[in-house]
Amino acid sequence: MGSVWEPELTELARRKELAAQMGGEERVARQRATGRGTVRERIDALLDAGSFAEVGGLAGQASYDDHGDLIEFTPANLVGGRGRIDGQRVVVAGDDFTVRGGAADAAIVEKQVYLERIAHQERIPLVRLIDGTGGGGSVKSLEDFGRTYVPWNPGWEHVVTNLGAVPVATAALGPVAGLGAARLVSSHFSVMVRELSQVFVAGPPVVEAGMGQQVDKETLGGWQVSVGSGAVDNVADSEADALAQVRRFLSYLPANAWTLPRHVPTTDPADRRETALRDLVPRERRRPYDVWTLLTAICDTDSVFEIGGEAPVAVVCALARLDGFPVAVIAHDPMVYGGGLSAQGSEKLIRFIELAETFHLPVLHLVDQPGFVIGTESEQAGTIRKGSRALAAVYQASVPWASVLIRRVFGVAGAAHRNASRPGFRVAWPSGDWGSLPIEGGLEVAFKRMLGDAENPEQLKAQILERLEAVRSPFRTAESFLVEDIIDPADTRPQLCEWVRGAYELLATTPPQPPAFGPRP
């Protein structure tokens, strides 16, 4: 015997089936022909199997006959709801490019805002899968509305608030413009797909009409542009890789800013000593070394996840684990600008420190900092202002902080290796070399007149340099307790594992709270 509500249940099943068809067979086929999956395929690949509970699946645009029966139904072009990633509850919101190219309609705006609010109210991470403009429609839609409007970003107060409350990760999975691009970068982590995604303020037709520039999508906003500029954090080789990066990013973070990051059991011994680190730093000070050898030797095996590695800056930012505890790692790559801090590198450093501060990640700073990048391009980029902002971020951070002085620590940029007013964990390697500026560069200035009057300036310069070599010994600094300790590089991991256990014990003594305001994009 059928239910008394059989007609309605049949209609419900029919509407769910129509919603599952998205933009229809032709548009779905067109989407797949570009190498891109559908929004529902992406959500299934992102979430734990069987965990997706959709919200608003019946929202969309419908037409009816004279008897009130449904003739046609076009679902809203955003699919979202709750699910789980590695068992952790999350909210996911995915654009459906097969319906109006992902541009907003009346239903998508409400669903976007609602999902942002769910993430905040339930204090769980938010994942946005962006494909299209996600904005207020095209110029053509004005004719349908019969009016224009003063621009506003619906629910943007929730977008901003969430940055200080829950982890937000976004993936650009196709061409992304306008409000969609703003949603992409208004996150703690963003990733795009190589050769498949493009990110720009406005697409090629608008650029040609407004600026008279003819340019294709890849040249305008491909991964080399967007990731190279720092607008987007990471690049992936495929949609599957992009979604895997989102999952991995979230694995280092707590569910929200009111909790601490989760410990993950590890088989990597905390007392593992790496004697190879004794030979990592060359005795010739201008010779670089592989910073990744350093990172992988110190951190738990296979735990290092870099953020922003394609940008042309010397600052290396990575999430990693020490003895199973998540940490935010900052290092300097001597193969890029000699490790110097640039304007773009400063901006990257600020965002990363804000991430650590918001979600209570202890910071490990592996220091080899020769100072700010110098020269005309550096001055034109406003390096000193942006570098000083980075120094302010270091001083404003309250999370536990460890600094390991690997080699150089010079000038104002070198002073950004920690907040000097806070006692904490700081050790140096025997390769430590520090001061207001490197002796090789400062000698010419300090002894300019003496060298100018000398009969053999090169010989005098060599004699002065030889005298100063003894003074620059890190052991002399340690004698005056201007550095807390000098350690055998092989002991770095064991000491840091001991530090991180204490750091989490300290964090646990005070209930975690979100910052006064969250990171800004």
CATH of the domain spanning 6-251 = 3.90.226.10
**Quick check: helix, strand or coil at residue 53?**
strand
Question: Per 3-state DSSP, what percentage of the chain is helix, strand, and coil (rounded to 5)?
Answer: 40, 20, 40
Q: What's the CA gap between 382 and 345, in Å, rounded?
A: 12
- Would you state the pLDDT for residue 520? 86
Q: How many CB atoms lie within 10 A of CB 63?
A: 9
Q: Which residue has the tokens 């404003």?
A: 396
Q: How confident is the model at residue 137 (pLDDT cuts 50, 70, 90)?
A: low
**Are the C-beta atoms of 230 and 317 separated by less than 8 Å?**
no
Q: What is the pLDDT of residues 286-325, one digit of tens each?
A: 899 999 999 999 999 999 999 999 999 999 999 999 999 9
Q: What is the pLDDT of residues 439-474, one digit of tens each?
A: 665 656 666 777 677 778 777 767 666 666 667 788
- The reply to whether 6-251 and 275-436+473-507 are identical in fold is yes
Supply the pTM of this predicted model: 0.91
First-residue to last-residue Cα distance in the chain = 58
Q: What is the pLDDT of residues 306-317, one digit of tens each?
A: 999 999 999 999
- Would you state the pLDDT for residue 67? 85
Q: Could you tell me the two tokens for 181?
A: 């691009």
Angle at 355 between CA 353 and CA 356, to 5 degrees: 65
What are phi and psi for residue 245, nearest 5 degrees?
-65, -40
Q: Which residue has the tokens 């294709």?
A: 216
Domain 275-436+473-507: which CATH class?
alpha beta
Q: How many residues does the chain have?
A: 521
**Quick check: helix, strand or coil at residue 158?**
helix
Q: How confident is the model at residue 108 (pLDDT cuts 50, 70, 90)?
A: low
pLDDT at 25 over 90: no
Comparing 67-81, 108-122, 161-175, 453-467, the range with the smallest average pLDDT is 453-467
Q: Classify 230 in phi/psi space as left (phi over 0), alpha (psi -120 to 50) or beta.
A: left
**Are the C-beta atoms of 220 and 206 separated by less than 8 Å?**
no
Angle at 321 between CA 125 and CA 266, to 5 degrees: 105
- Would you state the pLDDT for residue 370? 92
Q: How confident is the model at residue 145 (pLDDT cuts 50, 70, 90)?
A: low
**Are the C-beta atoms of 266 and 323 separated by less than 8 Å?**
yes
Question: Which residues have CB under 8 Å from 66's CB, separation 6+?
Answer: none
What are phi and psi for residue 469, nearest 5 degrees?
-60, -40
**Are the C-beta atoms of 181 and 201 separated by less than 8 Å?**
yes
- Would you state the pLDDT for residue 106? 45
**Quick check: helix, strand or coil at residue 443?**
helix
CA Rg value for the chain: 27
Q: What is the pLDDT of residues 358-368, one digit of tens each?
A: 999 999 999 99
**Are the C-beta atoms of 428 and 474 separated by less than 8 Å?**
yes
Q: What's the CA gap between 436 and 371, in Å, rounded?
A: 9
- Would you state the pLDDT for residue 144? 65
List, in sequence order, the alpha helices (H) in 165-257: 179-185, 204-211, 217-221, 223-228, 239-251
* pLDDT (average), residues 414-426: 92
> Which own/partner contact pairs does 472-480 have at CB distance under 8 Å and 24+ positions apart?
472/433, 472/435, 472/439, 474/428, 474/430, 474/431, 474/432, 474/433, 474/434, 477/428, 477/432, 477/434, 478/428
Write down the domain spans for the chain.
6-251, 275-436+473-507
